[in-house]
Structure 1
Amino acid sequence: MGYVLARPPLAATDDFFGAGGDSHRAMQVLSELVDRYGPQDSARAERMHEELVLAMFDDGTPHALAVVIGRY
């Protein structure tokens, strides 16, 4: 996520929004995560994306996103 913010990579517990991220950049990151780590099944990929959105806006840390990715 750090590359989207033009800064060093975030630590697992760093908050994306606290580090200067905004909702547009958040959606960019989430789309890239689904493309890279998402399941091939489109319905499951959509559910993963929805869970990532919730995790991003509830917590905003790489750790929270990794937990969601780990479920898929």
Structure 2
Amino acid sequence: MMEPISTKELDYVTDSISNEDLIIKQCAVLAASTQQNATHLLCMDIINVHNHHYNTLMQTLHQHVPIAPTQNYN
């Protein structure tokens, strides 16, 4: 059985998701603005790699939702 991830681990995962998203967006801007086919193709390859990383991180979070501790703020 999986253990719930700690707050520190959750912060690391969410920071990593944010970083992957930023890389994807920056490469998309470059791919759209370049006139060189090789640069465009390289950017698209990088986008695909980082989309995979992003999706893997999101899956990790979703796998831990059922075992995440709940907080009662009442």
How high is the TM-score relative to the length of structure 2? 0.34
Q: Which has the higher helix share?
A: 2
How high is the TM-score relative to the length of structure 1? 0.35
Q: Which structure would you say has the larger Rg?
A: 2
RCO comparison, higher one (Cα < 8 Å, 6+): 2
